Every structure is written in structure tokens, then in C-alpha cells.
């Protein structure tokens, strides 16, 4: 790499790191204690810590998480976040909340950098790259999904498109291999994005081959095939545990797909807390607050209208339309056909997540718009206009971040449990409705002892867990006690703040009558908790 591109990469990294600090300042200010108020934060921390634990103790059982006992492949009931877990493993000695903050914010800044690289390469404009990177890194979609760590890992998407362009321009095999590697890394970082990227990158390849006919394009076919082979091989290997889980849970209900797909009007909706627009989040319910921003949209239109669009702009416009249509799910044109033809899509429910690709392609078009408007201007003018536009975009995207505290160390009851002989643990109350919030907490806190637990929280639920939870909701009935015995539960944690005094009295009587011994009461995150052991 020459000195000039290296300086550009470094400068872009510093710019987007600083911008991320500003846009996420409350989170940066309290990195080891606070995080967004959502049970998925507990789930994120469990996944990161489980991967580090499994890699250090039993790599062959990486997907056999300690939740939903006695089920196997429990890491595959949702996105495993394998790349995130591997990258976070060296940090496992630090506070889990601090590690979570780093792994949440780092990909936002890095996504801005890689988007900068793609847009600069396509337009030759560093200002266009900064504008595209700002849209991609800080669009409202990011803040609406701040609790979903895997959805922040968009780092590899621009790199895959950049490798595709360079492969078509040069025909060099290393760019084809790189494209496949970036797709594979995206799949291992976020399955939704990996699947979407595979289809959209393939479409881009076909369109660009048509647009750029010539010797270099023809030479690109073998490298393109090599890259595709790499991506397919990694994806098939990774899919093993997910195929086994799918055989248990089946396809996503079509009603869920409808609920989490976008409607065209959702692209005018910002998340709750947006400082400029103040939108309360309706009608863009969860997964459907997809406004990409006025500045980036106007710049994209300018790029298409100021002069004759290039073939590359036309390709990205078509890709934008395809991503928009995909985000509509069954309300779109393409997805109903793909749903029938590609079984892998039947495991996805939130098609609205394709909205990040709408932002990505719109950002590329906006970079072209800026480059077209500024191509004859002096450097000082270009720099001033770029700074003003980036500042306007950051103001437009600024969103209030509600945060709550999370435990970064083991509460006393879990520290005590970790010193006892290994055994199956159950925590009560448990449930599939309001108790689901508590399940995420139990799951995370199990990382301080690593015993198998019958509780669990994930994107899918094993049927065995759903049945178990239904029976344990009647605790301390004989039906619930029989379930604990059937599961071989050795330790039972009762979170007393979740019960009335009358219920706690009935619980103690029932457990003693069932032959369980109270080992002690400990301070809990809320009130106190009792630890029981089966005889």
C-alpha cells in the first residue's frame, strides 16, 4: 500500500472514531456500566462470553451452549455472532459490559471507514467517501438497532463490493478471493446480512459484467467463481447446526415475516428519540424505522440529475430498488418468489433489516452526487462544503440514547454457586411472556458459574423449553416440581423480589416438602434470592 492511501485510511479511521464517540457519547462515557435497556444486551454478553469459554474449554462443543438444558446446538437458536465472539475472546478478562460496549461501537466506526473506502474508490472523491461513510455509519437504522450487536457488524459489506469492483477492473484472482472472504466474514458476523449480501453482490456482479464488457471483465469470471466457492464452502459448514435446529423449530411463521417486514411509509420514520425530527417511532414499530436521511437522499438525487448517470450509478440505483423491494417481504415483488425457491429464507423473519442495504446503496449514489457537484471546485470550497454536509447529517441523525445499568461482576449468589459441585440449575420465576426479560438476565448471569441451566433466551425457542416454561409457571405446584425432578435440577434459585410474601411462604413449604435444602439467602440485583439444593 502506498503512503497516500494509507494516510487516507488512517485519517478516515480517526474521523469516524471521533464521530462515533460524539454520536454515542452517553454510552462512551459509561462504557463499563450502562447499555441500552433491552434483554438482547444480556443475550449479546452471553454469546460473547460463551464463545470465549467454549474456545478455551471445549471447541468441539462450541454450539452446545449451557442454556435450554438438555438441548444441544443452543447457540444456533439465533445468530451465533461467531466473528464477534472470536474477536472479543482476548478481552474476556475485562468487564463484560465494557467488552459489550467496545464490540457494539467499534463496528459502527469501522463501517464508516470501509464505506469511505468504497465510495472514494468509485468516485475518486475523499469528500464523497466521508459523506457516504457518515450515512452508512450513523443512519437512524443504527440507533433503532443499538441493542442488536450483530446488526451493527456491517464492516464487510462495503469491502465485498470494493473487491468486486477491483476484480472486474483488473481480473486479478486475489480480488475474487477477497470478495468471497468478505462475504464469508459477513455471514459469520450476521446471518441476515450474509444472506442478503450474497444475493445483492451476485446481482451486482451480473449487472457490472453487463455494463463493463471487455477483456478484464472476462478475466474476472474465474476469480469470481473462486470467491463464490469460498463463500459457499464457509456458509455450508456454518449451516450445519442451523439445519439441525431448523428441523426442530421449523420455518418462521408467515405472520411474523409480515410483522417484521417494511412498508414504504416506514422509510419516512425515524426512531424514538431522534433530536431533529422528534418522531415517537410510529407507525414504524420495531424493525421498521428506516428513514435514511434527507441530506443523503438529496445528494443521491443530485448525482442522478446533475449529469448523465454513469453505468455504475445505474447499477447502484437498481441495487437500491432491489434492496428496498426485499425489505418489503411478502409485500414486495421478488421475495415471494425467492421464498418458494430458497428454503434458507424461511428461517428469516425480519426482512426490514434489508433496509441497511438501502442506506448503503443510497450512500454510494450520494457520494457520486457530491463528486459531480464539486468536481470543478477548489480544495478549500470542497472541504468547506463537505464539512457542512457531514455536520448537517450528524445533526439529522443525532438520537437520544436511553441507558440502564448492567452487572459487570457476579452477584453473591452466583459467586457462591460457582464454588459448588457442578449440577443443573433452574431459576424462578420463568416464563415465555413477561418472564422472557428475566430469562435473558439468568442466561447472562450463568456465565459466572457456567453450569447448565434449564432457562434460556434466544431468537428461537426449543419446543421442550416452551413446554417446560409452561409447567414451571405454575410453580410451586406438584406439576412444576415434577418438571424440576425430570430435568435433574440440582440447584434452584428463587428470586424473591418477583413473588409476594404469601407466595414465598408457599414456595418454602413446597420445596422443603419436596426434599430440597435451602443453602442460604443472598443479595440479588433486586432484593434477595434464595438458593436451594436437591437432596
Q: In angstroms, how far is CA 167 from the centroid of its own chain?
A: 29
Domains of the chain: 3-397 (no CATH), 412-534 (3.40.50)
Residue 247: phi and psi, rounded to 5, are -65, -20
Of the candidates 497, 505, 514, the one whose C-alpha atom is nearest the C-alpha of residue 427 is 497
Distance (Å, rounded) from C-alpha 503 to C-alpha 510?
10
- Work out the average pLDDT over 342-355: 94
Q: Which helix H or strand E contains 454, and what residues bound it?
A: none
- Work out the average pLDDT over 457-473: 94
- pLDDT beyond 80 at 2: no
Q: Cell 464487510 identifies what position?
A: 156
Helices and strands (DSSP H and E) totals, the chain: 23, 6
Distance (Å, rounded) from C-alpha 167 to C-alpha 164?
5
Q: 283 preceded by cis ω (within 30°)?
A: yes
Q: Which helix H or strand E contains 519, and what residues bound it?
A: strand 516-523
Each residue's pLDDT tens digit, 291-332: 999 999 999 999 999 889 999 999 999 999 999 999 999 999
Beta-strand relationship, 489-495 and 528-534: antiparallel
pLDDT band, very low/low/confident/very high, at 272 (cuts 50, 70, 90)? confident
Cα angle 381, 158, 281 (rounded to 5 degrees) comes to 85
- pLDDT beyond 50 at 153: yes
Burial of 337 (0-12, 13-18, 19+ CB in 10 A): exposed
- pLDDT beyond 50 at 78: yes
- pLDDT beyond 70 at 111: yes
- pLDDT beyond 60 at 281: no
* Cell matching residue 520: 442460604
- Do residues 160 and 117 lie in contact, with contact meaning Cβ atoms separated by under 8 Å? no
Amino acid at each position: 500500500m502506498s503512503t497516500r492511501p494509507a494516510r487516507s485510511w488512517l485519517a478516515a479511521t480517526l474521523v469516524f472514531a471521533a464521530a462515533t464517540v460524539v454520536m454515542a457519547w452517553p454510552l462512551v462515557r459509561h462504557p463499563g456500566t450502562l447499555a441500552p435497556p433491552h434483554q438482547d444486551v444480556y443475550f449479546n454478553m452471553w454469546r460473547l462470553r460463551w464463545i470465549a469459554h467454549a474456545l478455551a474449554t471445549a471447541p468441539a462443543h462450541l454450539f452446545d451452549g449451557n442454556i435450554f438444558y438438555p438441548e444441544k446446538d443452543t447457540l444456533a437458536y439465533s445468530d451465533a455472532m461467531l466473528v464477534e465472539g472470536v474477536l472479543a475472546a482476548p478481552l474476556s478478562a475485562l468487564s463484560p459490559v465494557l467488552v459489550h460496549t467496545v464490540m457494539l461501537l467499534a463496528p459502527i466506526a469501522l463501517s464508516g471507514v470501509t464505506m469511505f473506502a468504497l465510495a472514494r474508490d468509485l468516485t475518486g472523491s475523499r469528500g464523497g467517501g466521508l459523506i457516504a461513510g457518515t450515512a452508512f455509519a450513523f443512519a437512524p437504522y443504527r440507533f433503532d438497532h443499538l441493542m442488536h450487536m450483530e446488526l451493527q457488524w456491517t464492516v464487510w459489506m462495503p469491502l465485498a463490493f470494493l473487491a468486486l469492483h477491483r476484480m472486474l477492473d483488473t481480473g486479478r484472482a486475489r480480488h475474487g478471493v477477497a470478495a468471497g472472504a468478505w462475504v464469508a466474514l459477513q455471514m459469520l458476523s450476521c446471518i441476515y446480512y450474509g444472506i442478503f449480501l450474497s444475493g445483492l453482490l451476485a446481482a451486482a456482479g451480473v449487472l457490472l459484467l453487463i455494463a463493463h464488457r471487455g477483456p478484464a471483465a472476462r478475466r474476472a469470471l474465474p476469480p469470481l467463481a473462486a470467491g463464490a466457492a469460498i463463500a459457499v464452502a464457509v456458509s455450508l459448514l456454518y449451516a450445519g447446526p442451523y439445519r439441525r435446529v431448523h428441523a426442530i423449530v421449523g420455518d418462521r411463521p408467515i405472520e411474523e415475516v409480515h410483522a417484521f417486514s417494511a412498508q414504504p411509509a416506514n422509510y419516512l420514520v425515524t426512531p424514538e428519540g431522534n433530536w431533529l425530527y422528534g418522531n415517537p417511532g410510529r407507525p414504524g414499530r420495531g424493525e421498521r424505522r428506516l428513514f435514511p436521511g434527507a441530506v443523503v437522499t438529496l445528494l443521491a438525487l443530485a448525482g442522478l440529475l446533475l449529469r448523465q448517470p454513469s453505468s455504475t450509478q445505474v447499477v447502484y440505483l437498481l441495487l437500491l430498488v432491489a434492496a428496498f423491494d426485499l425489505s418489503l417481504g411478502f409485500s414486495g415483488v421478488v421475495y415471494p418468489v425467492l421464498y418458494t425457491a430458497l428454503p434458507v429464507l424461511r428461517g428469516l423473519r425480519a426482512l426490514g433489516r434489508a433496509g441497511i442495504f438501502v442506506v448503503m446503496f443510497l450512500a454510494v449514489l450520494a457520494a457520486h452526487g457530491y463528486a459531480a457537484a464539486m468536481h470543478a471546485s477548489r480544495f478549500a470550497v470542497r472541504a468547506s462544503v463537505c464539512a457542512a454536509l457531514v455536520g448537517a447529517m450528524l445533526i439529522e441523525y443525532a438520537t437520544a440514547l436511553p441507558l440502564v445499568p448492567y452487572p459487570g461482576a457476579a452477584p453473591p449468589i452466583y459467586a457462591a454457586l460457582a464454588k459448588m459441585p457442578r449440577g443443573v440449575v433452574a431459576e424462578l420465576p420463568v416464563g415465555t411472556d413477561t418472564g422472557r426479560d428475566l430469562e435473558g438476565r439468568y442466561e447472562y448471569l450463568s456465565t459466572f458459574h457456567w453450569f447448565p441451566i434449564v432457562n434460556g433466551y434466544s431468537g428461537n425457542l426449543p419446543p421442550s423449553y416452551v413446554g417446560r416454561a409452561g409447567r414451571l409457571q405454575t410453580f410451586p405446584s406438584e406439576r412444576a416440581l415434577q418438571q424440576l425432578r425430570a430435568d435433574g435440577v440440582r440447584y434452584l434459585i428463587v428470586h424473591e423480589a418477583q413473588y409476594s410474601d404469601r407466595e414465598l411462604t408457599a414456595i418454602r413449604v413446597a420445596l422443603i416438602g419436596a426434599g430440597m435444602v435451602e443453602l442460604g439467602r443472598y443479595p440479588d440485583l433486586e432484593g434477595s434470592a434464595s438458593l436451594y439444593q436437591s437432596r
